[in-house]
C-alpha cells in the first residue's frame, strides 16, 4: 500500500490503535504512538502483489507456513505496519497482526520508497524470525532481496534472473513477478520476445 505519511497529531496508545483501526474505513500504520493514513495502490502495484501471493500460496499449500497480503499487520516493537506480502511460519495467534514473519515484501512507489528503504528496513531487521526483506520496484524492473544470512546486504535481480526465496525453498522468475506489469522495462522485454517468437 502507499503511505501518505500524514501524521494525525494526537498521540494514541497501542491498545487504542488496535481497537479503533478495526472501525476505520482507511487503514493506518502506527509508529511510536502516532498513526499515518494509507492510500490505495496502483494497478502495477496490485499486479506484482497478486503475482507473488498467488505463487507463494500455491507453494505453501499443505505446509505450516502461509502468506498474507496487506490486510494483516506486522508488529515491530512500538510500530505496526501493513506489508504488501508476508510469509509466516510460527504465529503468535493474534487475529489482526503477527510478530513472526520469515519473509516481508514491499512494492515500492515514489511516495513510499524512503519509508520502505529506511524506517521499515531498520525496523524489520529487528524481527528475530525475519530471514528475507524484499523490495520491488513497480515503475521499472528491479527486485532487491536483503537476507539475514548475508548480513542484510542487498542482492538485485532483473529480467532473465530467478529470485530464490530461501526461507520457504521457492524459486520465482523475475518475469513471473512482473507478469502483466506495464512499465518501460517490461514493454521493451515483451517487444524483444515477440521478435524472437512471432
Cell 479503533 sits at which residue? Answer: 20
- For cell 526465496, the residue is 165
Interval 109-132 mean pLDDT: 92
192, pLDDT greater than 80: no
Which run of H or of E encompasses 56?
A: helix 43-60
Question: Does the pLDDT of residue 113 top 90, yes or no?
Answer: no
With 50 as the cut, is the pLDDT of residue 62 above it? yes
User: For the chain, which domains are there?
Assistant: 41-196 (3.90.1570.10)
What proportion of the chain, given as a percentage, has pLDDT over 90?
79
What's the length of the chain?
Answer: 198
pLDDT score of 191: 82
For the record, the C-alpha cell of 36 comes out as 499515518
Does residue 136 register a pLDDT over 70? Answer: yes
**Of residues 75, 150, 90, the one with CA closest to residue 120:** 75
Q: Is the pLDDT of residue 135 over 60?
A: yes
Amino acid at each position: 500500500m502507499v503511505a501518505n505519511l500524514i501524521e494525525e497529531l494526537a498521540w494514541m496508545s497501542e491498545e487504542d490503535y488496535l481497537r479503533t483501526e478495526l472501525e476505520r474505513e482507511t487503514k493506518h500504520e502506527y509508529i511510536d504512538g502516532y498513526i499515518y493514513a494509507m492510500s490505495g495502490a496502483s494497478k502495477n502495484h496490485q499486479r506484482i502483489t497478486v503475482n507473488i501471493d498467488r505463487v507463494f500460496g500455491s507453494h505453501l499449500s499443505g505446509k505450516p507456513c502461509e502468506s498474507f497480503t496487506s490486510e494483516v499487520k506486522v508488529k515491530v516493537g512500538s510500530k505496526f505496519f501493513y506489508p504488501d506480502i508476508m510469509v509466516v511460519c510460527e504465529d503468535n495467534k493474534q487475529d489482526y497482526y503477527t510478530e513472526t514473519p520469515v519473509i516481508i515484501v514491499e512494492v515500492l512507489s515514489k511516495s513510499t520508497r524512503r519509508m520502505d528503504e529506511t524506517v521499515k528496513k531498520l525496523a524489520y531487521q529487528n524481527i528475530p524470525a525475519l530471514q528475507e526483506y524484499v523490495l520491488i520496484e513497480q515503475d521499472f524492473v528491479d527486485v532487491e532481496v536483503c537476507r539475514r544470512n548475508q548480513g542484510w546486504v542487498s542482492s538485485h535481480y532483473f529480467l532473465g534472473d530467478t529470485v530464490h526465496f530461501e526461507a520457504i525453498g521457492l524459486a520465482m522468475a523475475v518475469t513471473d513477478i512482473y507478469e502483466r506489469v506495464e512499465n518501460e522495462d517490461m514493454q521493451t522485454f515483451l517487444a524483444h520476445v515477440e521478435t524472437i517468437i512471432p
